[in-house]
Amino acid sequence: MKAYIEANKERFFEELFSLLRIPSVSSLPEHGPDMQRCAERLVELLMEAGADEAAVYPTTGHPVVFGKKIIDPSLPTVLVYGHMDVQPVDPIELWKSDPFEPEIRDGAIYARGANDDKGQLFMHIKAFEYLVRSGKLRHNVKFIFEGEEEIGSPSLAPWAKEHKDLLAADIILVSDTTMISEEVPSINCGMRGLSYVEVKVTGPNKDLHSGHYGGAVANPINVLCDMISSLIDKEGHITVKGFYDEVVELSDEDRAKLGRAPFNLEEYKNFLDINEVKGEKGYTTLERVGIRPCLDVCGIWGGYTGFGAKTVLPSEAHAKISMRLVPNQDSATITKLFAEHFKAIAPDYVKVEVTPCHGGDGFLIPISSKAYQAASKAMTEVYGIEPVPARGGGSIPILADLQRILGIDPLLMGFGLERDTIHSPNESYLLKQLFAGMESIALFYQYY
């Protein structure tokens, strides 16, 4: 497919940029029309690439795009999953170029969604196009692109339940993850789940003058800090009661296998400009993100946050807390345990509220599967080195749902890199990964 890429490169850029220019931020209600535009553009691209049919389907939330090409019902069917929605762009002032006006700099595309996931789903459309046009397609192919991955996919699971026949396939193929490094290709064989909650701590019923009340009335920000601080103990364990009950401890053998992934702690620290890493005692950095759950405050706010000094003892303090879960931890159960725990540790002098935001379970896929082996062979050919089986720290909660609803395993061939800084300012995607991904995907079909 190398020659095909070379011959069509400029058109590919134009097509991908047309997607990246649409600000399809799923978490902000004002971007509803952009979700629709983005869905319609994907339908066009699928049809142009050779799909028999493709359409925008309404859901209870943002729409989904479904398209397919059935060449012979008796042949195996590949279901490609991707998501067209993106994360918000703030802090916008840190972007070097407009997040919705893609720019190629130093061999990479810079834009919100350049990697996650518009850039990665685009590789699948182009590999499919190549197979169709070159007459090499030997599978039925279906595409499902959703618009709510970044907000926990609330509508896709119910939609998938109603459209099980439409989605019937032998494997779910996904590119929405990263490789270990530019030189070390990897295939994710497991992902963490997620429980994401918003908490609110209320002290006095109004903002107070910190001089008149300070020292005598509990300050909800101080109390929130105390409560958050108590959620992780000195050894890095999460203190929520029952949190680890369902966590499967890996065998030493499995840990050794995962430990083969190349990792350089000094490079890692340099890349992040930190003097020290921090995490659960008894686990390596890769284990901490791969096989262990964690708890992070993703946002906190309360009181006066403007310029200068305002002496206020505020009425409320808020935080957004994300818990990354490992396979076997049930997201709904963890959310419930967290809410119970957080309320239980709240002191008498404040009131607390816990609002579940989104969540999803983790999952594991067998390395011995035909699909994993085909992907491994394809990537070995493209990268000249056998990909490492890895456990991903991120979450694609909907994949665990689809696995359960459709009864088929997902395979995660991700081509992102750490340097792409997805979810952050200046998200990018290396051109060489974009093209290597297209080649790997095309070869996957050959070996599957």
Q: 147 to 206, contacts with its own copies by CB under 8 A? A: 150-152, 178, 192, 194, 196, 203-206
Minimum gap (Å) between residue 391 Cβ and its own copies? 11
Selected from 13, 57, 213, 383, the binder of its own copies by CB under 8 A is: 213
> Which of these ranges, 22-30, 38-46, 73-81, 367-375, lies near its own copies under the rule CB under 8 A?
22-30
d(C-alpha 33, C-alpha 22), whole Å: 10
242 is an interface residue for its own copies by CB under 8 A: no
266 is an interface residue for its own copies by CB under 8 A: no
Residues in the chain: 448
> Which of these ranges, 46-54, 157-165, 333-341, 415-423, lies near its own copies under the rule CB under 8 A?
415-423
Whose Cβ is closer to its own copies: residue 67's or residue 389's? 389
CB-CB contact of 401 with 157 (8 Å): yes
Strands 193-202 and 351-360: antiparallel
**Is the dihedral angle over the CA atoms 173, 175, 180, 183 positive or is it negative?**
positive
d(C-alpha 134, C-alpha 139), whole Å: 14
CB-CB contact of 191 with 412 (8 Å): yes
Minimum gap (Å) between residue 48 Cβ and its own copies? 32
Q: Which residue has the tokens 């399809």?
A: 24
221 is an interface residue for its own copies by CB under 8 A: yes
d(C-alpha 288, C-alpha 284), whole Å: 6
SS3 label, residue 345: coil
CB-CB contact of 415 with 436 (8 Å): yes
> Which of these ranges, 165-173, 182-190, 266-274, 329-337, lies near its own copies under the rule CB under 8 A?
266-274
- Enclosing H/E stretch for 179: none
Minimum gap (Å) between residue 426 Cβ and its own copies? 8
> Which of these ranges, 77-85, 118-126, 137-145, 388-396, lies near its own copies under the rule CB under 8 A?
388-396
* Residues in 99-158 at the binding interface with its own copies, rule: CB under 8 A: 150-152
Whose Cβ is closer to its own copies: residue 162's or residue 233's? 233
421 is an interface residue for its own copies by CB under 8 A: yes
Whose Cβ is closer to its own copies: residue 234's or residue 260's? 234
Whose Cβ is closer to its own copies: residue 15's or residue 427's? 427
Minimum gap (Å) between residue 200 Cβ and its own copies? 12
Whose Cβ is closer to its own copies: residue 227's or residue 337's? 227
* Exposure letters 25-56 (e unless 16+ CB within 10 A, then b): bbeeeebeebbbebbebbbebbeebbbeebeb
> Which of these ranges, 242-250, 277-285, 334-342, 376-384, lies near its own copies under the rule CB under 8 A?
277-285
d(C-alpha 62, C-alpha 26), whole Å: 8
d(C-alpha 362, C-alpha 192), whole Å: 4
Minimum gap (Å) between residue 421 Cβ and its own copies? 6
Whose Cβ is closer to its own copies: residue 17's or residue 268's? 268
Strands 388-392 and 186-191: parallel
> Which of these ranges, 42-50, 102-110, 228-236, 242-250, lies near its own copies under the rule CB under 8 A?
228-236
* CB contact set of 39 (below 8 Å; sequence gap of 6+): 56, 63, 64, 65, 84, 145, 147
d(C-alpha 322, C-alpha 295), whole Å: 6
> Which of these ranges, 181-189, 229-237, 250-258, 431-439, lies near its own copies under the rule CB under 8 A?
229-237
96 is an interface residue for its own copies by CB under 8 A: no
Whose Cβ is closer to its own copies: residue 252's or residue 276's? 276
d(C-alpha 377, C-alpha 383), whole Å: 10
* Residues in 55-94 at the binding interface with its own copies, rule: CB under 8 A: 87-88, 90-91
Whose Cβ is closer to its own copies: residue 25's or residue 171's? 25
**Residue closest to 107 by CA, chosen among 429, 420, 417:** 429
* Residues in 289-308 at the binding interface with its own copies, rule: CB under 8 A: 289, 292-308
Minimum gap (Å) between residue 71 Cβ and its own copies? 36
> Which of these ranges, 2-10, 97-105, 155-163, 283-291, lies near its own copies under the rule CB under 8 A?
283-291
Q: How many residues bind its own copies (CB under 8 A)?
A: 98
* Residues in 310-329 at the binding interface with its own copies, rule: CB under 8 A: 310-314, 317-320, 322, 324
d(C-alpha 74, C-alpha 207), whole Å: 68
From residue 96, alpha-carbon distances to 24, 106, 112 in Å are: 20, 13, 12
DSSP-H helix ranges across 384-430: 397-406
